[in-house]
Amino acid sequence: MLAGKRILLIVSGGIAAYKSLELIRRLRERKAAVRCVMTESAEQFVTPLSLQALSEDKVYRALFSLTDESEMGHINLSRQADLVVIAPATANILAKMAGGIADDLATTLLLATDKDVLAAPAMNVRMWNHAATQANLATLKSRGVRFVGPNEGDMACGEFGPGRVAEPMEIVAAIEAYFGKDAPLVGRRALVTSGPTYEAIDPVRFIGNRSSGKQGHAIAAALSRAGAETTLITGPTAEPAPQGVQVVRIESARQMLAACQDALPVDIAVFAAAVADWRVAGQAPQKLKKQEGGQPPRLEFAENPDILATIARLAQGRPGLVIGFAAETENMVANAVAKRARKGCDWMLANDVSTGTGTFGGDANTIHLVTADSVEDWPRLTKQQVADRLAARIAEHFRSLPA
């Protein structure tokens, strides 16, 4: 999505300036061209050479550079970009923008630009909450300036609260969302489930499975990058939340079903979670104690709700495309074909989780896509590649629908 896009990155002075280095690296990974402008204060935290090495382009610093200004640098820089990004954006530079002050290269080009501006604020919590800053933000928003963050968290000054700069990948996600206005799934809403479910035995113990959540999380991220407004409902997992995705965390199958129902209506529903088929019928209110010489406790099980079938068979509010996963250890395609018909979903993705495949917790997957009239055998791919391929296949499906 960012390949060939020209980003003008303004780095202003603050301890968060060090995160601009990671931001540049992530943008360059996505084939974006990055040109950097530094304020004088920013040079107290990061060096021009660091920005130049990562961006592979000249770094601009001085308003009155004879070479640059002979070419009207402050005009050309501001207009050759596809998007202007300020990260970090200090209270000072936001105040200057709101007041129309142009006393250095960064603020001059911001006043001269005819391109959209995305700012990632970073400042002390008291500075963020100050009436002057809030008034400046309101002014800038009224002029069309976009914002990402700030987050709430610990700060370098030792205080805690809002004002912490958005993480580099959050800023990347915001940039992708900006350019995603022409993405294939813009205007669509998606729901993805991921990870395991934990079914409580008592307040301490549970029944679960080995699902890592890697595949479901990757699918949610891929749908978001394709422009879909995406909700991820996930069981307990160590996977980080995908950028640009609304995340709902649950533990049990019943909680997951309720969260899925709350997320409706959606156009796309992908059920990648490894939901426990059974739960303990009566959860013990206290920890079950081991008795000396005694027998292990007798557990009675009840069937969990079938989330995929419940959503796929809705009479009203059914998603336009319902996709399930069939984690199999044998007869993958045959079992997936039968499962698709039994559940009532549109597509079923069969994947091999037998011993030795490394699928659970691993980074690769072998997928067979089963539809009503065909079976597609995909080669072994990374889970990210599976997610991207599935998102492209979903986009193709919606493009083929009658207008």
Q: Could you give the residue numbers annotated as active site?
A: 157
Q: Is 277 annotated for ligand binding?
A: yes
> Measured between alpha carbons, how far is 27 from 35 in angstroms, rounded to an integer?
11
Pairing of strands 83-89, 117-121: parallel
Say if CB 35 and CB 8 are below 8 A apart.
yes
Q: Is 86 annotated for ligand binding?
A: no
> Measured between alpha carbons, how far is 191 from 189 in angstroms, rounded to an integer?
7
* Number of CB atoms found within 10 A of residue 12's CB: 29
> Measured between alpha carbons, how far is 57 from 5 in angstroms, rounded to an integer?
14
Instruction: Give Cα separations from 214 to 205, 242, 347 (angstroms).
Output: 24, 11, 20
Q: Is 184 annotated for ligand binding?
A: no
Instruction: Give Cα separations from 160 to 31, 49, 163 (angstroms).
Output: 35, 32, 9
Q: Is 311 annotated for ligand binding?
A: no
Pairing of strands 117-121, 146-147: parallel
Q: Is 250 annotated for ligand binding?
A: no
Say if CB 238 and CB 195 are below 8 A apart.
no
Say if CB 256 and CB 236 are below 8 A apart.
no
Q: Is 48 annotated for ligand binding?
A: no
For residue 242, give both structure tokens: 């995908």
Q: Which string of b and e fits 372-389 if b means at least 16 CB within 10 Å?
A: eeeeeebeebebbbbbbb
Q: Is 343 annotated for ligand binding?
A: yes
- Of the CA atoms within 13 Å of residue 252, those in its CB half-sphere come to 15
Q: Is 141 annotated for ligand binding?
A: no
DSSP one-letter code for 107? H
Q: Is 147 annotated for ligand binding?
A: no
Q: Which residues are annotated as a binding site?
A: 277, 287, 305-308, 325, 339, 343
Q: Which residues are annotated as a binding site for CTP?
A: 277, 287, 305-308, 325, 339, 343
